[in-house]
Structure 1
Amino acid sequence: MIESHLPAIIALTFVLFALLIPLFGLWKEQLCQPLAVLGSGLATVFSLMAFATYLQTGSIRYFFGGWEPPIGIEFVYDGLSGFILLVINAVAFLVLIYAKQPGRQEFNGKELAYYALAMLMMLGFNGMVLTGDLFNLYVFLEISSLSSYALISIGNKPAPFAAFRYLIIGTTGGTLYLLGVGFLYTNTGTLNIIDMSAMLPMLVDNSSVVTALILMVVGIGVKAAIFPMHGWLPDSYTYASTPSSTLIAPIGTKVAAYILFRVMLYLFGIELTDAVIPISYIVGVFACIGIIYGSVMAIAQTEMKRMLAYSSVSQIGYIIMGLSLANPFGFAGALLHVLNHAVMKACLFMITGNLRYKEGHSNISLFNDSYRKKYPWTMASFSVAAISMVGLPPLAGFFSKWYLALGTIDNSNWLFLAVIIVSSLLNAVYFFRILEKVYMKNPDADKQEEPTEVIEYNDVSPSMMSPMAILAIGLFVIGFANAAIVGILLDIFPL
């Protein structure tokens, strides 16, 4: 039965296309983008098939070579991994469709490298989500990280320096995670997550186990860009090419957040996580600081890509906050925000790419009311995504914040609730200033004596517009379907 092999097939799809793209690309570079779209599209279809199989028959455990753990290694496809795979593969599919035209403008002969690296990065992300082995998780983490460094370096002049900075910080994070795994292996004698989770309750007072947990949380926190470990992110997202930042920003930190879910909820469990040190609360406090810090820094930016980069620091905080609440509402809000933010941020980075493609810049201070006439669909999509990011109903962003707020009330954590409210107001400041520039006429323009310029429609082509429009419409769909989505999440990921 093909269903039992789907976890391996999903990952091997990216391996296959990571090999096919260089082979065909050396012959004809124009084939690289269609092959990448085909590969990510197949992976998305297989992810849908696997999720349907999960809903019917339950989790799928795939043993490589037929060797069962602890001797062999395995992929574990359950509700959480299935949900994350659907999100990241579907978003990557849309981004790679979008990448065709901006890539031709920005890559300067590096299309083959970009699309091959994109497949390798997606292999790493899918492997991290699926693996049931802590060491192999590190292997896939390094595959995705090395690919990300290279993708970020494909950009303008500062991009290689931003990539090098990410390499140094990211390698440090990966090393801390590996040290934690080493401590756990020394105490348990296994690397399999299911086997290890059964042993850890007997080792809760062991200082090396507590040290391992701290090292792993900090190491993955670097990859998730949790404050104050976010230093690599703003430059990386700002200076990378449009296709690179549009691919990495919506899904990269979400996979790292998924690993935190796995470690804190599934490997250790919240009771063991907080048995010696209140780690979940400490992580939640840092997440709250990051939410406010990222929002304030976003307000201070005049470059739209950099504004969105700091916004990502803030938004990842919501996901980690939901994890730290450790109750059903917080858990549902965090997972729903994984979906919402991936869709919102992909849409917003596409919009930034549209403006750079047409105007040659994305400097907010140069935006004006002519944009609403020249780029009506791009700016309409921006309005939808921006309002969703602020958290106004009926768009998707409101509902994840609503469930997070219910989670804080359930825990009587009024500080976290205040952070959600204040940050939403700050989000409104930096998004609505753009809406004001685009949709409200500058009063100083009436004082100019120059003849009125005829403004013509000049929006992007269908290949760039379609993925953006699908994501914008998706924010309405997710918003109206939020109750059904949360119902599924709570059914398949009970706390």
Structure 2
Amino acid sequence: MAGTVSPHDAKTLIEQLPILQVLVPFCTAPLIVLIGNRHMAWLLAFVASVISLVISYVLLTQVYGGGFISYQLGGWAPPLGIEYRVDAANALVMLLISAIATLTLPFAYESVKDEIKAKDHTLFYACFMLCYTGLMGVVITGDAFNVFVFLEISSLSTYVLVAQGAGRDKRALTAAYDYLIMGTIGATFFVIGIGFLFMSTGTLNMADLADRIANEGTNRTIRAGFAFIIVGMGLKAAMYPLHLWLPKAYTFAPSAVTVLLSATSTKMAIYVLLRFLFSVYNPEFIFELNVMFLVFMPLALIAMFSASFVAVFQVNFKRMLAYSSIAQIGYMLLGIAMFNLSGLTGTMVHMFNHGITKAVLFMGVGALVLRTGSSFYNNLNGLGRVMPLTVAPIVIGGLSLIGVPGTAGFVSKWMLVQAAFENGWWFIAILIVLSSLLAVVYVWRAIEVLYLSEPAQGTKMAEAPMSMLIPMWILAIACIWFGVATDLPLGAASTAAEVLLSGSFGMVE
């Protein structure tokens, strides 16, 4: 499907879906504050997330074959007016974000009551909706400056969400502060880059930017803008060595917040990098600057090994998973650096697969924190024996994180290995396998603690509440399902990669 829709011309609800994708969570946030009831706050947030998930799925089905949807706001046609633009690349990311948010909210019901003071619950769910609004807005907008606006909406609410962990550990405040400083620096770099682009081209519409850069060529200003955008979004994506904010934020944030951030926030930033790299700037420009080989490739490889190596020696389960996330971001950057269809497909599908994998792992840790009050290994000994239904999804998520055949993680890593062989880079393929072996070490250590260590004498732990178990098992089954039935993520990722490599915002040629 391809088409242009104006709000004034739209006659059906289906044609209004792009704007509803942002309006539904955005309007829910002030409604939660206005009502002021913490039980209604959860219900409103959950209903909004379910509606958004349905919208995401419908939009993906409309562009799955390679088309696009252009939704014009304010009665002004782009490039003068603001445009929301949907294609396979951002539709897949929106589906991931909305699915994770929808599953996180049932998990959060008990977790938030345990980790956050009751008087702050309304604030928590309002900020959750604002964060969700920002994530979806960044992904769906076709206007470069609106990427910055929605990025700030998401970031500011995220800082508050991370700080809510101070009820359990005061270090959440310093984690939120560090995240604020680093996030502000990243946003500043990004908006300076956008300013350079506007100064040189006179437009902010990303499709129009792409046309002008392709037709008029580049100059120093456009190249400087490119550098600022890469650094700014690299910081938001926790690209090595700009990742220092991530371990503390994931470790000390409330469990539900860590689930949402680990599965969606960095994926959103990687998507923005992809969009600017391949759609705004054209692939020939990137190749000319050798960004792939001189920047992304070495940093990706360093992240894959150094972060995994650090993860091996962690004694805190949440912190181990945080460093694992940095390594997995390295895999995504490596797929970009391959600069071929298989590599980009691997990056897109790894964004999706890692999102569901890391969500189930952090949910599992959050369930253990609910029962034990701690995520340190020495407090989790033998819990796999006394809480089998709670710990089993952690094992499935760990296998997917390693990339064991039959799990979602294997599919994306296999695509990256295949991309390396297509380029004749057998040494890179070997490094992918070796870095996955490091994942075996730190995942096995967690399994050893949970199953092979003796529980503390007299330990009798109840299973996690059903509101936690159900989303955990849905994600665990998804890790297996998408490792076998690969049509949805792999098909959408392949189409998205074709769109990106074509250097366009339109139909796949």
| Equivalences, count | 484
The structural deviation recorded for 1:455 is: 5.9
**Alignment check: 8 A CA contact 1:325 1:407 kept:** yes
Root-mean-square deviation over aligned CA pairs: 1.8
CA distance in 2, matches of 1:160, 1:91: 25
Q: Residue 487 of structure 1 corresponds to which residue in structure 2?
A: 491
Q: Residue 6 of structure 2 corresponds to which residue in structure 1?
A: none
**Alignment check: 8 A CA contact 1:337 1:400 kept:** yes
Q: Give deviations 1:248-277, integer Å, cap 9, x for gaps.
A: 111000000000110111111221113134
Describe the shift of the 1:492–1:162 C-alpha distance in structure 2 as closer, same or farther (beyond 3 A): closer
Greater mean deviation of Cα atoms: 320-329 or 350-359: 320-329
Greater mean deviation of Cα atoms: 278-287 or 171-180: 278-287
Determine whether 1:125 maps to 2:135: yes
CA distance in 1, matches of 2:302, 2:289: 23
Describe the shift of the 1:281–1:271 C-alpha distance in structure 2 as closer, same or farther (beyond 3 A): farther
**Alignment check: 8 A CA contact 1:81 1:130 kept:** yes
**Alignment check: 8 A CA contact 2:371 2:461 kept:** no
CA distance in 1, matches of 2:292, 2:194: 17
Q: Residue 115 of structure 1 corresponds to which residue in structure 2?
A: 125
Q: Residue 472 of structure 1 corresponds to which residue in structure 2?
A: 476
CA distance in 2, matches of 1:45, 1:381: 25
**Alignment check: 8 A CA contact 1:3 1:53 kept:** no
**Alignment check: 8 A CA contact 1:175 1:219 kept:** yes
Q: Residue 437 of structure 1 corresponds to which residue in structure 2?
A: 449
CA distance in 1, matches of 2:245, 2:457: 43
Q: Residue 33 of structure 2 corresponds to which residue in structure 1?
A: 22
Describe the shift of the 1:285–1:431 C-alpha distance in structure 2 as closer, same or farther (beyond 3 A): same
Q: Give deviations 1:159-181, integer Å, cap 9, x for gaps.
A: 11111111111111111111111
Greater mean deviation of Cα atoms: 477-486 or 152-161: 477-486
Q: Residue 366 of structure 1 corresponds to which residue in structure 2?
A: 379
Q: Which consecutive unaligned segments of at least 5 residues does structure 1 have?
A: 446-451
Determine whether 1:417 maps to 2:432: no
Of residues 319, 322, 342 in structure 1, which corresponds to 2:332? Answer: 319
The structural deviation recorded for 1:6 is: 0.8
**Alignment check: 8 A CA contact 2:385 2:450 kept:** no
Q: Residue 395 of structure 1 corresponds to which residue in structure 2?
A: 407
Q: Residue 226 of structure 2 corresponds to which residue in structure 1?
A: 213
Describe the shift of the 1:475–1:261 C-alpha distance in structure 2 as closer, same or farther (beyond 3 A): same
CA distance in 2, matches of 1:434, 1:485: 28
CA distance in 2, matches of 1:415, 1:322: 15
Q: Give deviations 1:181-238, integer Å, cap 9, x for gaps.
A: 1111111111111111011124544122111111101100000000000011011111
Q: Which consecutive unaligned segments of at least 5 residues does structure 2 have?
A: 1-11, 502-509
Aligned identity (percent) is: 35
CA distance in 2, matches of 1:385, 1:308: 11
Determine whether 1:2 maps to 2:6: no
Describe the shift of the 1:215–1:492 C-alpha distance in structure 2 as closer, same or farther (beyond 3 A): closer
Describe the shift of the 1:84–1:315 C-alpha distance in structure 2 as closer, same or farther (beyond 3 A): same
Of residues 31, 34, 40 in structure 1, which corresponds to 2:40? Answer: 31
Return the structure number with greater relative CO, CA threshold 8 A, min gap 6. 2
**Alignment check: 8 A CA contact 2:25 2:129 kept:** yes
Of residues 425, 439, 448 in structure 2, which corresponds to 1:427? Answer: 439
The structural deviation recorded for 1:328 is: 1.2
Determine whether 1:178 maps to 2:203: no
The structural deviation recorded for 1:484 is: 5.6
**Alignment check: 8 A CA contact 1:322 1:330 kept:** yes
For the residue of structure 1 that corresponds to 2:74, the secondary structure is helix
Aligned pairs (5 A) from 1:324-343: 324-343=337-356
Describe the shift of the 1:356–1:73 C-alpha distance in structure 2 as closer, same or farther (beyond 3 A): same
> Given residue 42 of structure 1, which amino acid in structure 2 is its aligned partner?
I
For the residue of structure 2 that corresponds to 1:275, the secondary structure is helix
The structural deviation recorded for 1:23 is: 1.4
For the residue of structure 1 that corresponds to 2:289, the secondary structure is coil
Of residues 248, 268, 271 in structure 2, which corresponds to 1:255? Answer: 268
Aligned pairs (5 A) from 1:287-302: 287-302=300-315
Describe the shift of the 1:142–1:488 C-alpha distance in structure 2 as closer, same or farther (beyond 3 A): closer
Of residues 77, 95, 102 in structure 2, which corresponds to 1:93? Answer: 102
Of residues 287, 299, 317 in structure 2, which corresponds to 1:304? Answer: 317
> Given residue 123 of structure 1, which amino acid in structure 2 is its aligned partner?
T
For the residue of structure 2 that corresponds to 1:23, the secondary structure is helix
The structural deviation recorded for 1:487 is: 3.2
Normalised by the length of structure 1, the TM-score is 0.94
CA distance in 1, matches of 2:13, 2:294: 43
> Given residue 79 of structure 1, which amino acid in structure 2 is its aligned partner?
A
**Alignment check: 8 A CA contact 1:204 1:210 kept:** no
